[in-house]
Structure 1
């Protein structure tokens, strides 16, 4: 009887874990959605304009410690890869107030593109992103080369970018 309860407990935990995985990553995507992204400067960026070069699209929030920790990595990648045509777009989650996003952008001197997603439409289009940071490495053909939940490893990201640039 005790073994049976242990088995049921383990099965229940596995099912809960699987349900959580499905909930938080319910919409894995293989291709960049054809949408428009609004920047904090009022520009509209069509994702189709990213075609031809690699791009990093990251979903973040001003209240996310891991997102803040990732900023120096994004700045370094931007400094080394922007001249090679690599775009970085950091999309603030819908719960993030625009004035907080703008203030942090200025305070941290963020050199890459910062966008807002006030209705959550962009997050939905990217597979229903709910957790931050979530980063997509976009290949020149607009396929998703890497989908990373949590902090990314800068060295590995650079290697991936170098591979994609060599192919483009």
Structure 2
């Protein structure tokens, strides 16, 4: 019986040690040094937005999850842009530019919409292939969250508010 208790104690100690090691060894992933070109021709350098939280979302006009997210992105923009939040919606390379431009205008998207004609931004952000894929970038330029699929609006609001409080 004592050996069983000893082995259980050793196992628990190893499990706790592994948890502590994983918690302490989290690496900070910096956002790539990307410069986006919007559908209006404006250049936006991500490193020029340091000091602000930035939401970068990869999307496509034929993506149902992306369409579901757009009202939430508009809401986030309206509620947090004046407090510093920037949103850049990056249309995937396979999405025809004329579809992106028409969609952005028809839906009066208030945030920046960029094209990724050569998939360079998708590669820079870890070879993004699925839409929507969203990155929340902290004011220091590190990636706080990468979410594949539609994000939870309440969770995103909580995260953004925490970054804006700083």
Give the TM-score normalised by the residue count of structure 2.
0.82
| Cα deviation code 1:50-80 (max 9, x no counterpart) | 1001010000000000001100000000000
SS, match of residue 62 in structure 1? coil
Cα drift, residue 106 of structure 1: 1.1
Structure 2 Cα separation of the partners of residues 127 and 81 of structure 1: 27
Structure 2 Cα separation of the partners of residues 30 and 63 of structure 1: 30
**Largest Rg, 1 or 2:** 2
Any runs of at least 4 consecutive aligned residues in structure 1 with deviations exceeding 2 A, and if so which? none
Give the TM-score normalised by the residue count of structure 1.
0.81
Structure 1 Cα separation of the partners of residues 138 and 102 of structure 2: 31
RMSD of aligned Cα (Å): 0.9
The match for 2:50 is 51
Tell me the matched-pair count: 139
Cα drift, residue 85 of structure 1: 1.0
Structure 1 residue ranges without an equivalent (≥5): 1-28
The match for 1:141 is 140
Structure 2 residue ranges without an equivalent (≥5): 1-27
After superposition, residues 10-159 of structure 1 pair within 5 angstroms as 30-159=29-158
